[in-house]
Structure 1
């Protein structure tokens, strides 16, 4: 948490830690509704990996008669409304969760809205819990609040020791469930009591005729992304070796990277679609492509879900949690990486790098490494 206004944060902290006891007292005088709240406020890629389990929950024997609400992130609101609205009763979307730490009035308003819904059950399936959502879960005063034991990647120990007590059940995570999708399977198998057969995220798209190579040249954080010069050299090689149309994709975070590439490539050689599509349109684009090339971003999970072959430039921060996918996973991305002893660092890099340089585990991936991974996937399109 990057807190600038300590006074506002203290008010929010009081609200998240102390007011739940008041709400629980008030809830003693009401009957819970047959209503369940899902809390999932993390990023777009996390939602792609999670979203199929909303349908699983709604169709389960245990919860099919419940009204299911969702507290989510505005980043992926249009994805939810396009693909998953039919399984949900009401949805609440918040901006960057970190902004609420200095907005006690907004936090109180949201808490009161959730409290009035009389939830019987609150589920928080995100393994890396954060202080805000722990507090919001408690402020619902639900009869059952279920989450993971979690770690301290997203919450300071001094707060987690207190918010652990808000939960009626904390699920331990075994080593074999390190991969994020498998964590979701484990969580929802546990809460529903039913076996789940899903092996990977899935989205139905019209992709009967896949054509074109989609390239997403950015990353969620600059230092996690492959160098622009390497993307440029890779695109030049693709233009020489294939007849496939090439287009750049992405959102606002990729605009600068896209401009660099367009300025250094022959006019008309590729198409720039960056920041010109909605998220559902981006998924349609990826689903209609013959290949996606990207850093470890939500686009890689979209490609898996849309059954599009993909090549992922992978660093070590969350290695094996989000990628590579386990062996045998349908439509798994081909991941290109140079494994260093410091992998699994949660992006707390031990090396000092310049502001304009990627992390060493990213820069270690060479153009030739990438080309050898791409070559088998474009063999049919070679000149």
Structure 2
């Protein structure tokens, strides 16, 4: 949460912390509708590891006759509507960070959620943040359920206040660490039922598989393998396979993509960076023979579409998002150099300049990745 305008943030904070108390008072005089709100406003990979539980909730015995709404992230709006829209009554897609200095926008959305008269609000995200905690509270729902959470996304100063908005906060049991398993535990607890869904999945049209997809970025620059190593990897691939190579990604991968194109012979790769929608990207990954990437949403898309993948992995969220546990099939092959400082939540203890990857990423060498990739050729 980086704040530029402190005055606007103070007004937003007032909306998030004070208005819920007023709305909760007025909510006592109304009968809640049979309506449930799911709040999941994280990044693309988080959505992939969560999305199967939208269907599970709608088809559950407990909430089958409820209208199910979703408050999600604009980053994955198109794919949520395409794959999960049939289970949803209303959908709201936001960029969470844009609300901290937008008190009127926050007030407008909060009022809209309040007037929907939800009986239940579920926020399965373990690492809660201030804005979605506040939006959950503004619904004044009869039941607001979330995780006890850590302080990675919200400071203790605000978490101590927003904890009080929830009617139930679930502790995370020992042994439930992988993000998909956290989601499954949350919904099994809330739905009072053992769930059959065992791993993330996305059904795409049955296409014959062809091509190798490479995503040469990581959202945050310092979490990504160096572009020079991706270049060397592509050169080796071109010498060993006739499969087409797709360079994929969004705006964050444009710079690395340009570097690769400038240093490869013309026609070496098919550049799809910033040229596909998210649904198209999912179909491309799902019809490829192999994905190579850093630990990004693409890694989880590959697992969900049963596409083999090789993941260059750092230690910030080690074992929370990757490597996948043994009970998940079609999991990525993860290449990493484990260091004593792993599990740091990307609060790196090493000082590096802006143009250097974190040491746990740069320690992964090209030969290790090539050895993993060559098994799939």
TM-score, length-normalised on structure 2? 0.99
Report the counterpart of residue 247 of structure 2 in structure 1. Answer: 248
1:207 touches 1:287 (CA, 8 Å); kept in 2? no
Between the aligned partners of 1:268 and 1:140, the Cα distance in structure 2 is: 53
Does residue 258 (structure 1) correspond to residue 262 (structure 2)? The answer is no
The aligned residue for residue 223 of structure 1 is: 222
Q: 1:308 maps to what in 2?
A: 307
Tell me the residue number matched to 2:199. Answer: 200
CA contact (8 A) 1:189 1:195 kept: yes
Question: What is the DSSP-based 3-state SS (H/G/I as helix, E as strand, rest coil) of the residue aligned with 2:146?
Answer: strand
Q: Quote how far apart the aligned CAs of 1:226 are.
A: 0.5
TM-score, length of structure 1 as denominator length: 0.97
The answer to whether the 8 A contact 1:286-1:303 is kept is yes
Partner of 2:366: 367
Mapped to 1, the partners of 2:182 and 2:121 lie a distance apart of 18
The alignment yields a C-alpha RMSD, in angstroms, of 0.8
Deviation at 1:208, TM superposition (A): 4.2
1:291-319 C-alpha deviation (Å, 9 max, x unpaired): 00000000000000111000000000000
Residue 152 of structure 1 deviates from its aligned partner by: 0.5
Question: Secondary structure of 1:238's partner?
Answer: helix
1:328: Cα distance to partner?
3.5
Q: Give the alignment of 1:225-240 within 5 angstroms.
A: 225-240=224-239
Cα distance per residue 1:48-85 (max 9 Å; x no partner): 11001000000000000000101111110001111000
The Cα of 1:119 is off from its aligned counterpart by 0.4
Secondary structure (helix, strand or coil) at the match of 1:170 reads: strand
- Between the aligned partners of 1:200 and 1:364, the Cα distance in structure 2 is 30
Number of residues paired by the alignment? Answer: 377
- Unpaired runs of 5+ residues, structure 2, are none
Query: Which residue number corresponds to residue 9 of structure 2?
Result: 9
Structure 2 SS opposite 1:345: coil
Q: How does 1:1-383 map to 2 (within 5 A)?
A: 1-95=1-95, 97-378=96-377
Of 343-352 and 241-250, more deviation after overlay is shown by: 241-250
- Runs of 4+ in structure 1 over 3 Å off: none
Distance 1:376 1:199 in 2: 27
Task: Find the aligned partners of 1:114 and 1:269 in 2 and give their Cα distance.
Answer: 50
Partners of 1:222 and 1:5 lie apart in 2 by 25
Counterpart secondary structure, 1:371: helix
What is the CA–CA distance in structure 2 between the aligned matches of 1:9 and 1:195, rounded to whole Å? 42
- Cα distance in 2 for partners of 1:264, 1:270 equals 11
Q: How far, CA to CA, are the matches of 2:335 and 2:345 in structure 1?
A: 18
Q: Distance in 2 between matches of 1:4 and 1:304?
A: 38
State the alpha-carbon separation in 2 of the partners of residues 23 and 213 from structure 1: 53
Structure 1 stretches of 5 or more lacking a match?
Answer: 379-383
SS of alignment partner, residue 334 of structure 2: strand
How big is the shift at 1:199? 2.0
Alignment partners' CA distance in 1, 2:190 and 2:288: 37
State the alpha-carbon separation in 2 of the partners of residues 269 and 31 from structure 1.
Answer: 63
Distance in 1 (alpha carbons) for counterparts of 2:124 and 2:31:
25
Aligned partners of 1:39 and 1:72 also within 8 Å: yes
> Secondary structure in 2 aligned to 1:226?
coil
Quote how far apart the aligned CAs of 1:374 are: 1.0
Distance in 1 between residues matched to 2:68 and 2:330, nearest whole Å: 30
Give 3-state SS (helix, strand or coil) of 2:348's partner: coil
1-structure distance, mates of 2:345, 2:253: 23
State the match for 1:381 in structure 2.
none
User: SS state of the match for residue 71, structure 1?
Assistant: strand
